[in-house]
Structure 1
């Protein structure tokens, strides 16, 4: 049994309040990153919106910190807090699809695997993450980069509305029709403005996709990366594929002698006509000696969970860094090759995600996500099982990031920054930071929601620039038809049309 400190809250909520000493406490306090070892005063397993209203008012009255846990995937551990109250939405994972309107209503504990399972039943999808266990809410609030970004924009570009409990314990809906400034801030401003209790997304026709995965020796990564840079720029928006550096995973289509060795990988999917898919992969087969490859049509949700056993494993030690690159320069590629031998484990990933196409057709000031004029978002996501290796692996990430940052923009992708990146928040939010600080002062003047990549409230009297009223261009029109960009390169090694590992 817990103390009587939270008895008042217990009387006001339907969800379970768990304190230290309760049998469920150890399981309830742990989060995705095994490096995070915080001990909250209590964890509220949220049952409904009324619980959130009561909990926010209770925590304010008691003067304790609040952390919000949605999908629970936060590398810095923002889903928990020492001596505070955790609002745990892990049981609130419902997804309701309206196929006629092409809309999906999502609860805040849902993961992208949950979301894709529900929407795929109707042949629909929205831009989600690369890993299925990533939370929908957290990814969207920080922007949301994924395989569908080039075709349909970021996750936040597909957000239609959000229900939010504000810092004063009141409930509002933010959309293009009401609380427009809050709606603007939620799309890239992270969890600074309230507790999101549901989200509504616009859906797009995505069903079967043509998946491609190619492995190369990491030592040839500069040449492979240069070929990838030219290829992805020329490809239609229907092609969503990233360049990565890994330890070779134990998959059947990669020879065993490369398991655990540094490899470069091109991975992603073609979302256009399935029969046209194989031809779009051909140019990358000429980029270097292919160590192993896999090409096949498969349901989109199957690709989204394909790497969960490597990079989506809870309980591993983890430390992340991120940047934005205006271009994938030769210097950046040489840096990636130099640091590839130090990749900590098969669970680690250094990826370069393309964010051109539909992402760039949204103005930087149209949402809080400002970096719309860059081509790539590199992330260094190191994960490893042994805590005794923490210092060495953290040092590798920091050294790699420092070397890469020389060729990067000032800011980085919010969702892949760690707790020690707080000092970068103004650079990360770029030209939109000042407006976000004013809105923070409006919606959370006391900075009640600060267990996040935090935006400080602007001083009283600071004027905010007007929030654009127009809808983002990516939601008004589809991307350029793929017929305008058909490749004519013939394959020389593996055959993507075979639909199997080679």
Structure 2
């Protein structure tokens, strides 16, 4: 940190390195690469994991699993746990245990002047508040301590439908029981046809859970339906297999509070117009415990039950249709809102709107902890 400042070098921080826009790297400057720092230790007695700054969600899930516990992660194992947490962190357990940011207990942070501080509810609580969903714009998080959880079982799976089932999914996505978090969206089936998918995760009583998952299969006539017991590491690995490294990606992120006719039409138009069979649209649910956190309790403000619509264009290197793939993502711009952790470099207005009244408090924290504006992190004001 001091070297970069003394020599006037642009500075970036790389944790898990999953940012789709590549903002973890900097040309002609200094990148602090934390990705080799992947240590995770678990204290089963306190159900707390100590997570190094470069650890991935898969690293954390595996360590928690060995201790008979689960961690609130994102949906993919390759995502850096620090970046996910600092930006909010939707995931398959959020309905019961909140966002990843809600499970952050404390952190070791190197500030812009090179000093190291440990923040928690008693020490620099304002910085802890900002780190819970305010983005990585206040310092380098070298270590986090996160809350883990004990659950009776994890049940999950994949159900595919025709498009006409979309309206019937709204209840399960936004108003289901805390133990049930459903990710839905559109992918290209092996047949080459676009299909609607529902990927439920249940983290409670297994007998009750199997009934809840079975009810999902009855929303329509499933094209395929595979549900049953699993583990969080296995579930994350399945998503990673769908999005292997090395492909090109552009992402759009919007937020909607209902699957009303207008929203449904925009989603269906996008699903029918996909330009690559590798692309997808994913609806991430915020409901249950994540929606009961007061809007000003953490920097992540949007606690109204909603769906984060992630439009993911994916194509192979050298694909001559790159411009069309990127344009396909922009086709969902008619939807409102945004998720700062996935907004593009030019989405400053949507970022500010997502933080809402919390933005003024975040800017005050920025002035206090980084007055010279050393950090310019994605998803930050």
CA offsets, 1:474-501, max 9 Å, x none? Answer: xxxxxxxxxxxxxxxxxxxxxxxxxxxx
1:299 to 213, 228, 231: 231
- Which residue does the alignment assign to 1:190? 135
- Is it true that 1:245 corresponds to 2:177 in the alignment? no
Match of 1:103 in 2: 48
Q: Which residue of 1 aligns with 2:368?
A: 442
In the alignment, what sits opposite 1:347?
Answer: 278
Q: Distance in 2 between matches of 1:373 and 1:454?
A: 21
2:214 aligns with one of 270, 282, 292 = 282
Counterpart of 1:365 in structure 2 is: 296
Deviations 1:310-329 (A, max 9, x none): 12x22211111111212222
CA shift for structure 1 position 289 = 2.4
For residues 276 and 454 of structure 1, the distance between their equivalents in structure 2, rounded to whole angstroms, comes to 41
Is the 8 Å Cα contact of residues 328 and 375 (structure 1) preserved in structure 2?
A: no
Gapped regions of structure 2 (runs ≥ 5): none
Residues of 2 paired with 1:452 and 1:285: CA distance?
38
How does the TM-score come out when normalised to structure 1? 0.73
Whole-angstrom distance in 2 between the partners of 1:208 and 1:299? 8
User: 2:333 maps to which residue?
Assistant: 402
1:67-106 correspondence runs (5 A): 67-106=12-51
Q: Is 1:433 the equivalent of 2:359?
A: yes
The CA deviation at 1:453 is: 3.2
Match of 2:198 in 1: 266
Q: What is the CA-CA distance between 1:233 and the residue it aligns to?
A: 4.2
Shift of 1:439: 0.8
State the secondary structure of the residue aligned to 1:123.
Answer: coil
- SS of corresponding position for 1:412: coil
Shift in Å at residue 352 of structure 1? 1.2
Larger deviation: 289-298 or 155-164? 289-298
C-alpha distance in 2, partners of 1:207/1:119?
Answer: 14
SS of corresponding position for 1:203? strand
For 2:173 and 2:352, how far apart are their aligned partners in 1?
A: 30
What TM-score, normalized by structure 2, do the two folds share? 0.96
Query: Could you report, residue by residue, the CA deviation over 1:111-148 in whole angstroms, capped at 9, with x for unpaired residues?
Result: 11111000101121121011111110000000000000
In the alignment, structure 1 residue 118 sits paired with structure 2 residue 60: no
Judge conservation of contact 2:253–2:310 (CA < 8 Å) in 1. yes
Instruction: Quote the offset at 1:346 in angstroms.
Output: 4.1
For residues 358-401 of structure 1, what are the alpha-carbon distances to aligned partners after superposition, in whole Å with 9 as ceiling and x for unaligned?
A: 011110100000101132111112111144222111111101x2
- Which of 62, 69, 93 is the aligned partner of 2:7? 62
1:314, 1:418 → 2: CA distance?
Answer: 20
Query: Contact 2:175/2:288 (CA < 8 Å) preserved in 1?
Result: no
2: CA distance, partners of 1:453 / 1:183: 17
1:347 & 1:114 partners in 2: Cα distance? Answer: 26
2:236 is the alignment partner of 1:310: no
CA contact (8 A) 1:225 1:243 kept: no
Using the TM superposition, give the Cα deviation of residue 451 of structure 1 relative to its aligned residue in structure 2, in angstroms. 4.2
In the alignment, structure 1 segments of 5+ residues that lack a partner are: 1-55, 251-257, 456-502
User: Per the alignment, in what secondary structure is the counterpart of residue 130 of structure 1?
Assistant: coil
Displacement of 1:81 in angstroms is 0.9
Question: For the residues of structure 2 that align with 1:65 and 1:171, how far apart are their CA atoms?
Answer: 20
Match of 2:76 in 1: 131
Cα gap change, 1:273 to 1:381, in 2 (>3 Å): same
Query: What CA deviation, in whole Å up to 9, does each residue of 1:228-275 have, x standing for no partner?
Result: 112344531111111111111x4xxxxxxx2x3201000021111222
88-97 or 296-305, larger mean C-alpha shift: 296-305
If each structure's strand is expressed as a fraction of its own residues, which one has the higher value? 2
CA deviation map 1:168-219 (0-9, x unaligned): 11111111110010000011111110000000001111364111211112xx
CA 1:231–1:450: 2 relative to 1, 3 Å: closer
Aligned-partner Cα distance in 1 for 2:240–2:293:
30
Kept in 2, the 8 Å contact 1:75–1:318? The answer is yes
Instruction: Supply the distance in 1 between the matched residues of 2:236 and 2:152 (Cα, whole angstroms).
Output: 12
1:242–1:352 Cα contact (<8 Å) kept: yes
Candidates 155, 158, 164, aligned match of 1:213: 158
Secondary structure at the aligned position of 1:190 is classed as: coil
> Aligned pair 1:170/2:101, yes or no?
no
Among 201, 217, 220, the alignment partner of 2:146 is 201
